[in-house]
Amino acid sequence: MSNPKPKKTELETLKDKWYKKLKDEGFNDIEQDEDNLKEWSRSVFGRKHNSTWQGGWQARFEYYQLATRFLNEYKFETPLQKIVWEYHSNGLSDRETAKVLKAVKIKCSASTAYQIIRKLKARMCDMYLMKTEPRHE
pTM to 2 decimal places = 0.58
Name the CA dihedral angle for 73, 108, 48, 38, rounded to a multiple of 10 degrees.
Answer: 160
What is the per-residue pLDDT for 83? 96
pLDDT-based confidence at 65, cuts 50/70/90?
very high
Q: What is the mean pLDDT of residues 88-116?
A: 94
**What residue segments make up the domains of the chain, in order of their start?**
57-127
Residue 56: pLDDT above 80?
A: no
Residue 8 or 50, more confident? 8
Reported as a pLDDT band with limits 50, 70 and 90, residue 55 is low
Give the distance from CA 128 to its chain's centroid.
25
